Structure 1
């Protein structure tokens, strides 16, 4: 078994797991995320967790994934609103503390990597993993390889889908502002005058005939169909894997999305829409895969030991 430590860094919690080389969970923990704009507090926290987990077993590599804009080649978080980070070289920062190789990536990209290898996207050469949670982003698999563009690829949540709402990025019309799980909850709360906790309660209300909830969900599905049409026009994936909290509702959301997307296409190939299999574990498993890949590159695939995997926050 190979020995790696992997992190998925978000704004609230760290989920940590000890994995074997087949991604089997041997031990797991969850702790609050240490905050700090320069990343040193989190690096110290992760260092302690890596050393604590595994019962003294020597961890041989570390994988880290975070939300935001991540330059994986430079191992720098260019921007992460959830962590209040700008240009934080977290890969080298953590590596200097641990004295171990560190792989650094993006949480949705890592989730896509896991879905493409061991989840709903297996067997595809051209696919997309679209995560609809607090925000909306996509992992892109092109000709069998993850396409990252130094962390700038896959920001499907900031496609203009034609509404008048202002997005957190500063633009107007972004898909994320109308169709993310957080947007669905916010829009229903504003229109109905009652606060709901997340998108699923809104979907439940829509199922029960609530007209406000039905309108909010319908608008979200329309926006997603527009965003996916743009993705199809540019990249032509054969499969789109749908993940994140919104798609926990299954066919109640996927069926109308499939119908509206198909109706909007002219020459584009209609992809197969699949619901993600790995759920909230996708980012964590993807972080583990990044670490295992790094270890394989540096050792030629040999070695033994454990995998320590950390998910901080993620794609809820």
Structure 2
């Protein structure tokens, strides 16, 4: 049985056909539109492209936002247009297939638990570094969702009082200092203070500050650009600080770092581990969580959403109804 998993992020809509072993067989990608209808059009277009090449049984959407407890609607998504939207029912009618929703980080941690870096862990936390930060908690193989289906919203923990403004309406959220967007923002701030420190990034920022992306900063850091490396060190510091806070609350045995930024983990993860180990409460007197990069990489959300869609399709076959 093949299913489609779609990672609906703030930057792009990425879809893939996934088999029962978690292998991604085919993919497509498009920029994330700004309007709700346009976003659903983009999702429908991605599914149509993939179902034109494969026979699939169901669709799973991994969404960067608050998903209702029944996984049928989106309450709020800071980087998407949906507000109180019954997305699963609308898309199911449009596609003629069962559709299930899941928070993108929950989908990713389920994928890592079934197929990747969190296999065998009793308590696992996933921190997905992308446009923002997604967070997920898995206890004995079950996702912890909280009373209303929105826990744990780790990216919007306030780490810096009166810090950078966030799309959620607060200031100083963790994701404003530790994400792809944050990496770019830090580089632009450093360029304003040290305009001659990076010829390449300064030239790009002078033309259009939006040209300085997190991916571009990471590439410059790999090439030895000192300002980009300083921006990366800042990200590592805030990652370590945030992970220490997460570990103080949840005491996980493994923390999985996923999302697009994790592709650059060799540039920051060792430093982040050091910051984490020194910032955690009781440092030196308690076991530390193993901090691993996601084995499924940026595909974890796709694989997890597809796995949940497969669970739904199997349930329909066995019982004739959708939970």
1:223-277 Cα shifts (integer Å, max 9, x gaps): 2222111111111110001112333233431111111111123055310011112
Change (3 A) 1:91 1:234: same
Change (3 A) 1:126 1:90: same
**1:242 matched to 2:257:** yes
* Aligned residue number for residue 177 of structure 1: 176
Deviates more, 1:213-222 or 1:186-195: 213-222
Change (3 A) 1:25 1:176: closer
How many positions carry a matched residue from both structures?
Answer: 299
> Residues 71 and 100 of structure 2 are in contact (CA less than 8 Å); yes or no, is this contact kept in structure 1?
no
**1:288 shift after superposition:** 0.7
For 1:90, which of 66, 83, 87 is the aligned residue? Answer: 87
**1:219 matched to 2:219:** no
So what's the TM-score if we normalise by structure 2? 0.80
Change (3 A) 1:197 1:268: farther
> Residues 13 and 42 of structure 2 are in contact (CA less than 8 Å); yes or no, is this contact kept in structure 1?
no
For 2:310, which of 288, 292, 304 is the aligned residue? Answer: 292
Change (3 A) 1:157 1:18: closer
**1:46 shift after superposition:** 4.3
**1:188 shift after superposition:** 1.0
For 2:115, which of 110, 114, 118 is the aligned residue? Answer: 118
SS at match of 2:244: helix
> Residues 66 and 106 of structure 1 are in contact (CA less than 8 Å); yes or no, is this contact kept in structure 2?
yes
**1:282 matched to 2:300:** yes
**1:170 shift after superposition:** 2.6
* Aligned residue number for residue 64 of structure 1: 61
For 2:160, which of 155, 159, 162 is the aligned residue? Answer: 162
Change (3 A) 1:14 1:175: closer
**1:42 shift after superposition:** 4.5
* Aligned residue number for residue 134 of structure 2: 137
**1:89 shift after superposition:** 0.4
* Aligned residue number for residue 75 of structure 1: 72
Deviates more, 1:116-125 or 1:16-25: 16-25
SS at match of 1:270: coil
**In 2, Cα distance between equivalents of 1:32 and 1:296:** 31
**In 2, Cα distance between equivalents of 1:223 and 1:33:** 27
**In 2, Cα distance between equivalents of 1:18 and 1:91:** 18
Change (3 A) 1:242 1:12: closer
**In 2, Cα distance between equivalents of 1:276 and 1:221:** 17
1:180-234 Cα shifts (integer Å, max 9, x gaps): 2211111211321433633354345556765544443333222222211111111
Change (3 A) 1:33 1:251: closer
**In 1, Cα distance between equivalents of 2:32 and 2:237:** 35
Deviates more, 1:18-27 or 1:200-209: 200-209
**1:56 shift after superposition:** 8.3
Change (3 A) 1:119 1:198: farther
Q: Mapping of 1:239-278 within 5 angstroms?
A: 239-265=254-280, 266=282, 269-278=287-296
Change (3 A) 1:48 1:185: closer
**In 2, Cα distance between equivalents of 1:250 and 1:48:** 33
**In 1, Cα distance between equivalents of 2:151 and 2:229:** 32
Aligned-pair RMSD on alpha carbons?
2.9
1:137-187 Cα shifts (integer Å, max 9, x gaps): 211111221112344212212222235423312323221111222111112
